[in-house]
Every structure is written in C-alpha cells, then in structure tokens.
Structure 1
Amino acid sequence: MADAKPKKALWRPWIRALHRDIGYVAVGLTFIYAMSGLAVNHVTDWSDGDPSFKNYQATHELGALASLGSDEAIADAVRQKLSIKETPREVYRASPEELEITFDKRSLHVNPVTGHVIDDGQKPRFILRFANWLHLNRGKKAWTYVADAYAAGLLLLATSGMFMIAGKKGFFGRGALLVGLGIAIPVIYIALAGP
C-alpha cells in the first residue's frame, strides 16, 4: 500500500498570492522610505547637515545699482536681473557697501556701488527632498492615511511571510529562530544602549 501524501494546506496558495500582490504594491513606498531612512540616519555625514537640501554659492556682476536710490528699488532691480519671482522676507543694510536681501532658502549680499552679488542658498536634492518630505509626514493628514496603509501592508507581509512555506524551512522550522533573531536585535540594542 502506497504511503498517503500529506495534505497540502489549501490556504497556503492564497497566502502566497496575497503576499505577492501586497509586496508589489509596497515596492515603490519601500524604496521611498528606505532611501529617506538611510539619508536621515546619516544626517551628520552630509556635508551641509541636511539630506534634503544642498548649499550653494554663486556670484553675479550686475553693474552699478546705487543710482537707483532706495534699498527697495535696488532689491527689485536685483530680483529682476536674476529672474527671481519670490518676494523677499527682508531687505536691509548690513553696511554702507552691503545690502542684504533674504528669502526663505537664499540670501543675496549686494554691493550697490559695484553691482557684485553673492548668492547663498539651498537647492533641493533630487528625489531625497521629496522622499524625506513624505517620510517625515510633512504632507500631514492625507499622507497619514497612505503611511498607515503602508504600515498595515508591511504587517501583512511580515505575517503572511511567516506562513508561506511549510516544513523545515517554514515558520515551524528555522523560521521561528529567524523571527526570534529579528525580535532580539532591537531588544538587545535597547538593553545595551538604553532609550
């Protein structure tokens, strides 16, 4: 008499299909969160201390501007020549030879006599600026729903992943040891380093 084959769990194919489809949806979000997490975890390694923006400095020679009269007129002329549409937060004299024009992410140091302009500012880093904006939930209420759905999806992936494979390589084999290791890593770190 032939040995009876063990019954296959009928629910396991459904778990694999669910795991696969949720995994596909999670790929884009995982890239965003992982990239941002790496950038933010190493914030002190960025030369300008901010993974979202990079500092820059540029100089411009605009010609004499002092004859325009008021500081506001000079500031308007500088903005026009440099094609800056943003309204300055502040225009003030740092000294007789230097007019400061400050914006949210840049400052212009203008010598009205010579027209020499030093442009100090920050430019967003490609992709990282937006990844960090999403990761740190700057999008507020609407993005909170997306982030919560993503977190729930990760919980489903983690849970379904434990039961996709049967036998020695499954959860009740080496899987339980690996899950225990995953739980032990943060526990041991907290025990040694403390919150």
Structure 2
Amino acid sequence: MKKINARTLHRDLGYFYLGLILSFAFSGILMNHRENWHPDKYTLNVKAIEVQLPDEKDINDEFAENLAKSLQIEDKIKRHMVRKGKFKMMFENTEVEIDTKTGKGEILEFVKTPFISQTMKLHKNTSAWWIYFSDIFGISLIFIAVTGAMMVKHGKHTFKRRGWKLTAIGLIFPILFLLFF
C-alpha cells in the first residue's frame, strides 16, 4: 500500500477545487456589487401608467390586489406601501410606483440577468446537498492552506520564521473589518 504524501494530496485537491474556487470567487465579486447593478432584477420593460388613487388611509391589501389585477400583473404581491408621496407595490418580477398626488407612475418588469444570476446561486443555495458539499469544500480549503504553509521546510521563508506573521495579519484584517466597519 502506497503512503499518502501531503504534498501530492495538496496538489491534487488544489487542481480538483480550482474550478470551484474560480466560480466562487467570480460569483462572490458579483455578490459584493449586486446593489450597483441588480443582477437579479435586470429591467426588461418599463411602462408608464396613470391611475386614480384613493386617500392614503383607504389604500389596503384589497385595493392593492384589485389595482394589480386592473394593471394585468399576474404576480402575487409581496408587499405594498405609501412612502414619501409614492404608492409602491412589489411583486416577484415587477414593481409599481405611483405618485400619490398626480396618479402618474410606472410599471417595471424584471428578468434575471442570464448566467450571472444563476452563478450567484452558489452563494444563496440552501439545499442540504449543496451545504454538505460546501462544508467539504471549506474543510478542503483549510487543508490546502495548512499543507501549503508547511511545504517550505528550510530557509528564511518558512512558516515558523515568517509565515506565521503573515497568517496573523491575514486573520487580524477581517476581525478589524468586522469590528470597525
């Protein structure tokens, strides 16, 4: 029976997970900036509307549902509100915003940005299978990091002489970020 070599295991796990690392890195960058370009809400259609709104006190669930039907919106209402002079209704793939004084507004219909929104599911997926796979991936990344740190055994750039300092800085940085930002 052949003895398992840590260097070989480190290399082979690194190769195996390279595609997943790239996918997670790409989707993570996209997730970091999702508020700037809304990959889950790519605007497909904008339609101007004008409706007669009742007094703000008369705007309720029943009114919102009837208005949605009259505007031919098939989605189920997630929520509605009157805020800063605007009546807003939010649906799965549609948003309606109407000025309460003029009754003028617009319907925004959305579709997900192809490929990019699907890639972002890597970070949002909650299926048991994906969670276990992600746990194994995380443990493997820890293994790759630790074995990689231990590979240099001689000289001034070993983990014992220099690497631990850089590792400490690498650990302190996210802690400081969490504390101060």
For normalisation by structure 1, the TM-score amounts to 0.58
Residue type of the partner of 1:101? I
1:127 alignment partner in structure 2: 115
Shift of 1:161: 1.1
Partner residue, 1:18:
9
Distance (Å, rounded) in 2 between the aligned partners of 1:154 and 1:33? 12
Which position in structure 1 is the counterpart of 2:51?
none
Distance 1:166 1:101, change over 3 A: same
Equivalence for 1:188? 176
**CA 1:102/1:25 → structure 2, altered by over 3 Å: closer, same or farther?**
same
Unpaired runs of 5+ residues, structure 1, are 1-10, 60-90, 108-117
Q: Which residues in structure 2 correspond to 1:104-123 (within 5 Å)? A: 104-105=92-93, 120-123=108-111
Residue 145 in structure 1 maps to residue 136 in structure 2: no
* Cα drift, residue 185 of structure 1: 0.8
1:169 aligns to what SS in structure 2? coil
Structure 1's 20 and 57: CA in aligned 2 closer, same or farther, altered over 3 A? Answer: same
Give 2:143's aligned residue: 156
Taking structure 1 as reference, are residues 157 and 58 closer, same or farther at Cα in structure 2, changes over 3 Å only? same
Cα shift at 1:21: 0.9
Aligned length: 137
Shift of 1:189: 2.4
* 1:45 equivalent in structure 2: 36
Partner secondary structure for residue 101 of structure 1:
coil
Report the 3-state secondary structure (helix = DSSP H, G, I; strand = E; otherwise coil) of the residue aligned with 1:52: coil
Runs of 4+ that moved beyond 6 A: none
Q: Mark the structure with the bigger radius of gyration.
A: 1
Indicate the RMSD between aligned Cα atoms, in angstroms: 3.2
Change (3 A) 1:127 1:170: farther
Match of 2:26 in 1: 35
Alpha carbons 2:43, 2:109 under 8 Å: kept: yes
Q: Say if 1:58 and 1:120, in contact at 8 Å, map to a contact too.
A: yes
Q: Is the 8 A contact 1:163 1:171 kept in 2?
A: yes
Question: In the alignment, which residue of structure 2 is the partner of 1:5?
Answer: none
CA distance in 2, matches of 1:152, 1:31: 17
Q: Which residue of 2 aligns with 1:63?
A: none
Distance 1:20 1:149 in 2: 17
Contact 1:137/1:143 (8 A) holds in 2: yes
Q: CA deviation digits over 1:99-126, x for unaligned, max 9?
A: 413244358xxxxxxxxxx984222223
- The answer to whether the 8 Å contact 2:41/2:93 transfers is no
Deviations 1:1-26 (A, max 9, x none): xxxxxxxxxx9x92221111111121
The one-letter amino acid paired with 2:73 is I
Q: 2:34 corresponds to which letter in structure 1?
A: V
